[in-house]
Amino acid sequence: MYYRKTGKGPWVVLLHGFMESMEIWNDFAEFLAEEFSVIMIDLPGHGRSGLLGEVHTIHDMADAVSAVLYYEGINDFVVCGHSMGGYIAAEMVSWEKTRAKGLCLFHSHVAPDDEQGKDNRTRTINVVKMNHRGFIRQFIPDLFAEINRERLASEIEKLVNRAASTSSKAIIASLEGMKDRSGSLDFLINTELPVFFVMGRNDSRMPYNKVMAQVMLGRNVQAMLIDNVGHMGYLEAPQKIFPVLRDFFRRCLS
């Protein structure tokens, strides 16, 4: 497991999404570093972290993250996960009942895949087996709201190039794990822990109306819905999102 620490103060844990790496958080970590200690982790099979096996279950990936935090002696933390990283964050927080102080689901949610979602994962796995680099080049631009694609063309190209270093085995292992996850709906319904959802109104991968239904289930939940943003708010609207999340982290860790 590869990770990097920066900043000073109480701990914020940042988990990237599918076919990303911890570099997606560089700007956010710099924004937070004067007030918080930040740890960014390459999830199994991503960035410079190794594979766990043929299937990366959400539980196993969450266990790997938890092991890093124990190794570093990190207590009293807030965890923020983007997309797949949110699945992992919610899973980990569900058993970190004393150390975790808050959860941010950044273009993510806590429900398992429905049958259509599972079928889509299976089709994607078959596409990756045939042409995983072609899949990456098509998949990543679609994560952005159409209005932002030209403006962020250079950032999109960087993401494509970084994702190209993710092996087909790692991509398939993560897809298998996401397909079979049980989700964390019970945790959301029962927890008193502060939870914050970030949603893009133009997110084609995670429609905000479905996520909003989960927002209504929690006891201590806040949500932010942003216009003209797809699935990649940390690039599409950082000036709107970063200050709001910093305030959330302050409340959780005060």
39's torsion region: left (phi>0), alpha (psi -120 to 50) or beta? Answer: beta
Return the exposure string of 95-109: e unless at least 16 CB atoms fall within 10 Å of the residue's CB, then b: ebeebbbbbbbbbbb
| pLDDT of the residue at 208 | 93
Mean pLDDT of 161-169: 94
Please, which pLDDT band fits residue 248 given cuts at 50, 70 and 90? Answer: very high
What are the two backbone dihedrals, phi and then psi, of residue 251, each rounded to the nearest 5 degrees? -65, -40
230 CB contacts (<8 Å, ≥6 apart)?
143, 144, 145, 148, 200, 202, 203, 204, 205, 236
Residue 96 pLDDT more than 90? Answer: no
pLDDT in tens, 33-80: 999 999 999 999 999 999 999 999 999 999 999 999 999 999 999 999
Write the CATH number for 183: 3.40.50.1820
Domain that holds residue 86: 3-253
Rounded CA-CA distance 225/179 in Å is 26
Total domains in the chain come to 1
Residue 163 pLDDT more than 90? Answer: yes
As a whole-number percent, the residues of the chain with pLDDT over 90 amount to 95
Mean pLDDT of 221-248: 98
Closest CA to 43 of 31, 60, 30: 60
| pLDDT of the residue at 145 | 97
pTM: predicted TM-score of the whole model, two decimal places: 0.97
pLDDT in tens, 144-153: 999 999 999 9
Q: What is the dihedral of CA 80, 85, 88, 89, to 10 degrees?
A: 0
Please provide the average confidence, as pLDDT, over all residues in the chain: 96
Mean pLDDT of 138-164: 96
| pLDDT of the residue at 98 | 87
Residue 97 pLDDT more than 90? Answer: no
Q: Give me 88's structure tokens.
A: 């992992």
H helix or E strand, kind and range, residue 31: helix 26-32
